[in-house]
Every structure is written in structure tokens, then in C-alpha cells.
Amino acid sequence: MGGMWSSVRPVLAWVVVVLALLAGCAGRDAAPERQAQVAHGEALYDTHCIDCHGGATGGDIADVPPPHNAQGHTWHHGDCELIAMTLQGLPERPGLPDDVPPMPGFANELDEDDVRAILAHIRTWWTPEQRAHQERVTAQVCE
Ligand code: HEC
């Protein structure tokens, strides 16, 4: 047993070092760009969405307008659906409470990259399970 460990241990150590280096490189490349996108999305969200949809916490899945955080159902929809709803808005429908205006369309103010940034910001409010689920939905329903 001891003999086997002494030959396996250095190999394991190398594997750990190489994995750590790989993870470090990947993180370094993606992080600043991603942070800038999330910050851009946060600024847009605070200007255009937060008054109706609320912020990082609070609210309930039955609320209208729905919260976009982990209490809501935004994470049930694919990226392409969320982008289309945000740019085009949603039609007035029976069942919307009288004091709630329908979801306005933002195509005159925002483009697709802006909405992707907003989604990157909203995503930081979701649990890892919700994020994973929403990635699967996006892969299924969006090209
Ligand atoms: C004037 C209030 C108002 C503003 C401002 C507003 N929304 Fe909405 N939004 C609504 C309402 C109301 C609904 C629900 C419509 C329904 O149930 O038919 C909705 C629904 C949605 C939905 C579909 C439900 C969901 O969570 O998946 C998305 C996505 C959405 N809004 C995104 C946004 C984004 C992004 C912004 C900011 C760019 C925004 N909304 C700004 C009122 C608003």
C-alpha cells in the first residue's frame, strides 16, 4: 500500500497543479469582460426595470409584474424568449390587475446586447440550480 501511494502521490499533485492553472487562466480571461457586462446590465435594469419588477430579493412567484429574482419564474424561460419579451413587450391581457400596466416593449431604447447584459445581471440573483435549468431551457428552445 505504502509503495503504491508513494508512486501515485506525485502524479496526483501534478494533476492538481495543472487543473488549478487551467482554472486560473479561464477565470482571468472571462472575468473582467463578464463583470463589465453585469455592471452594464445592472445600470440598465435600475433605469428601466426595477420600478416594476423589483430587485435582488423579495416578491413572490404569483406577483404581477413578476420578480426577476429567485422568487420569480424568469428562469423558466430561454434567453431568446426573454429577449423577445423585453424588446417587444407583452400584450394587454385579461387577468392583469387593473392597477398594473402591461409589460412595455423596449426596442426603441435597448438592443439585444443590452438585454443580454440585463439577463447577466438578473442571473446573479438565481441559485446555481436555477441557472443550470435556465441554460438547459435556452439550449432546448433557442437556436
Ligand atoms: C411599467 C411596468 C414594467 C416595466 C417598466 C417593465 N416591465 Fe417587464 N413586465 C411587466 C408586467 C406587468 C409583466 C407581466 C405581464 C403579464 O403577465 O402579462 C412583465 C413581464 C416581463 C417578463 C416576462 C415574465 C418573466 O419574468 O419571465 C419579462 C422577461 C420582463 N417583464 C422583462 C422586463 C425587463 C428586462 C424590463 C426592463 C428593461 C421590464 N420588464 C420592465 C411590467 C413592466
99-142 pLDDT, tens digit each: 999 999 999 999 999 999 999 999 999 999 999 999 999 999 99
Cα-to-centroid distance, 120 and ligand 1 (Å) = 16
* 63: phi then psi, degrees, rounded to nearest 5: -65, 145
Q: Is residue 78 part of a domain?
A: yes
Domain coverage including residue 110: 35-141
Q: Is residue 9 part of a domain?
A: no
Cα-to-centroid distance, 142 and ligand 1 (Å) = 20
Stated pTM of the model: 0.84
**How many domains, in total, are found in the chain?**
1
Q: 10 to each of 2, 15, 19, 43, how far by Cα in Å?
A: 13, 9, 14, 49
Read off the CATH number of the domain in which 52 is found. Answer: 1.10.760.10
Query: Is 134 touching ligand 1 by the criterion CB < 6 Å?
Result: no
Instruction: Please give the pLDDT value at position 123.
Output: 98
Please tell me the residue having the least CA distance from ligand 1 atom 21. Answer: 103
Cα-to-centroid distance, 70 and ligand 1 (Å) = 15
Q: Is residue 52 part of a domain?
A: yes
Q: Is residue 10 part of a domain?
A: no
Mutate to test the pocket of ligand 1, among 53, 116, 142 (most ligand atoms within 8 A of CB): 53
pLDDT band at 7 (very low <50, low <70, confident <90, very high): confident
Q: Is residue 18 part of a domain?
A: no
**In the predicted model, what is the mean pLDDT of the chain?**
90
pLDDT tens-place string over residues 51-66 = 999 999 999 999 999 9
